[in-house]
Amino acid sequence: MQNNKLRMAIRATAAMAALGMAGQASAISFETGGWETSIYGYARLNASYDIDEQHTNSAQTASFSDINVGDEEDDEVSGHFDADAVQTRLGIQTMTPEGVKMVVEGDFRGNGGGDLRLRHAYGEYEGVLAGQTWSNFNSFVGNTSTLDFDSLPGLAGLQGRTAQLRYTTGPFSVSVEEPSSSVASVTTPTTGANAGNLVLDDQAGSKDGMPTFTARFQDSNGGLSYSAAALVHQVEYDTGTDDDSAIGFGAFVAGKIAITDMVSIQGSFNYSDGANSYLWRSGEDYYGYDAYVTPGGDVETLKGYSGSIGTGIKLGNGNSINVGYGMTTMDVDDIGDDYTGNESIAETNSAIMANYQFTPVKNVMMGVEFQHLKTEDANGDDGDSNRLLFAAQYNF
């Protein structure tokens, strides 16, 4: 049975390769009145084969929240194929004669996939950036290349974009950003599927009363690239009758070293106390709660940490092999101490991703990736899954 599933996946890879070699794209750049403008992006097909249960998000990325745990792993339905092109991207960048840079970029991953989604929209002049782009509490220095658009748990920082005002001078940058915070209420239902379980939900009256403040240092020296960043923000709730708040903070370090011209090792480490909204692939899937409300109405911050490590091996002619491991975990023991119930709360997510990427012609990337994912709840229930991912990307 398992061999048949793998043979089907291999046939799908071969079919995608044949389709991929049939298309090409070229860059579009022009100058008008001293304005230098380029249109860029790519068309991309992603396809996945879930060897075990189906746990696929848009762009065929892996979903930790859909992995069966405990008794749910018994008699699970296995073998699922899916594909989409929602990762396809289009952007425009222009530079004025005065040196003002402007970027607008989108893809089609909005509303679960298929709708246009704004990725970047910002202007930048003499180190001052205003608009939406990658959070300053973010770095790609330690990332291992994966075909999965959402990649490994434990990468550095938010791994997302946010509205901000940023100032950069040399390798140092600071920003004031749109806040991202979450406070959980804790209940123990007496009926239904979650009867007897501790259930986290958004606390009524959760609010953002101040922006997030970040600082980052990122530089390189020879074959070494490195980055470190920190943030502070407020987590709070106010129902009109009850309220409380706390300060959360987070930090990360990331680095990459070129062992040879062909081989690199890279990785990252993150720590959070009340800033799990910036801890990549924590909680149920993407970001965990920053804090929870105790039975006495106080805001109690939740700690978390994560890390990733990987290697990239260049084979020449645009071909490469990449292997990475990432893990994210949250300390939710205090919730179990304050509330009575089965601690079926997502605690740890981890993944191994290994891929082969190749370039059949210029501006075309194709690849196949194997993934092994695991998730574990605070009560010890865990589950794992295996999947294959295929990609064909045409850049312009």
246-272 pLDDT, tens per residue? 999 999 999 999 999 999 999 999 999
Q: pLDDT band at 8, cuts 50/70/90? A: very low
User: How much of the chain exceeds pLDDT 90, in percent?
Assistant: 89
Rounded mean pLDDT of 363-375?
Answer: 98
Output the CA–CA distances (angstroms, integers) from residue 223 to 51, 167, 252, 263, 351, in the order listed.
39, 27, 21, 11, 27
- Please report the pLDDT score of residue 112 as a whole number: 87
Rounded mean pLDDT of 166-185?
Answer: 98
Number of Cα atoms under 13 Å in the Cβ half of residue 292: 24
One-letter amino acid at 114 equals G
The conformation of residue 2, written as its DSSP 8-state character, comes to H
**DSSP track, 284-332:** TSS---SEEE-TTS-EEE-EEEEEEEEEEEEEETTEEEEEEEEEEEEE-
- pLDDT tens sequence across 82-113: 999 999 999 999 999 999 999 999 999 999 89
- pLDDT tens sequence across 309-351: 999 999 999 999 999 999 999 999 999 999 999 999 999 999 9
Range in 11-15, 134-138, 302-306, 351-355 the model is least confident about: 11-15
Q: Which tokens go with 168?
A: 């950069």
Residue 342, number of CB atoms within 10 A of its CB? 17
Range in 26-35, 112-121, 230-239, 288-297 the model is least confident about: 26-35
Q: pLDDT band at 298, cuts 50/70/90? A: very high
- Please report the pLDDT score of residue 20 as a whole number: 37
Q: What angle do CA 162, 167, 173 make, to 5 degrees?
A: 85
Please say if the pLDDT value at position 66 is more than 50: yes
Question: In the sheet that 199-202 helps form, which strands lie side by side, from edge to edge?
Answer: 199-202, 183-187, 291-293, 299-301
Output the CA–CA distances (angstroms, integers) from residue 317 to 195, 314, 396, in the order listed.
57, 9, 18
Rounded mean pLDDT of 60-69?
Answer: 96
As a whole number of angstroms, the distance between CA 304 and CA 275 comes to 8
Q: What is the pTM of this model?
A: 0.90
Please say if the pLDDT value at position 357 is more than 60: yes
- Please report the pLDDT score of residue 26 as a whole number: 53
Q: pLDDT band at 75, cuts 50/70/90? A: confident
Indicate the fold that domain 138-161+171-358 takes in CATH: Porin (2.40.160)
Q: Name every residue whose Cβ is closer than 8 Å to that of residue 395 and which is 6 or more positions away in sequence.
A: 25, 41, 42, 363, 364, 365
Please say if the pLDDT value at position 171 is more than 80: yes
The b-or-e profile of 14-45 (16+ CB within 10 A means b, else e) is eebbeebeeeeeeeeeeeeeeeeeeebbbbbb
Helix (H, G, I), strand (E, B) or coil at 32: strand
Length of the chain, please?
Answer: 396
Question: Residue 84 belongs to what H/E stretch?
Answer: strand 80-84
One-letter amino acid at 278 equals Y
Q: Label the pairing between strands 382-395 and 35-50.
A: antiparallel
Please say if the pLDDT value at position 16 is more than 80: no
One-letter amino acid at 89 equals R
As a whole number of angstroms, the distance between CA 288 and CA 283 comes to 4
- Residue among 167, 237, 251 at smallest CA distance from 204: 237
- pLDDT tens sequence across 183-240: 999 999 999 989 999 999 999 999 999 999 999 999 999 999 999 999 999 999 999 9
- Please report the pLDDT score of residue 27 as a whole number: 67
User: How much of the chain exceeds pLDDT 70, in percent?
Assistant: 93
- Please report the pLDDT score of residue 62 as a whole number: 96
- pLDDT tens sequence across 29-58: 999 999 999 999 999 999 999 999 999 999
- Residue among 58, 67, 62, 65 at smallest CA distance from 87: 58
The conformation of residue 138, written as its DSSP 8-state character, comes to B
To the nearest whole number, what is the mean pLDDT of the chain?
A: 93
The torsion of the CA quartet 304, 219, 309, 314, rounded to 10 degrees, works out to 160
**DSSP track, 349-370:** EEEEEEEEEE-SSTTEEEEEEE
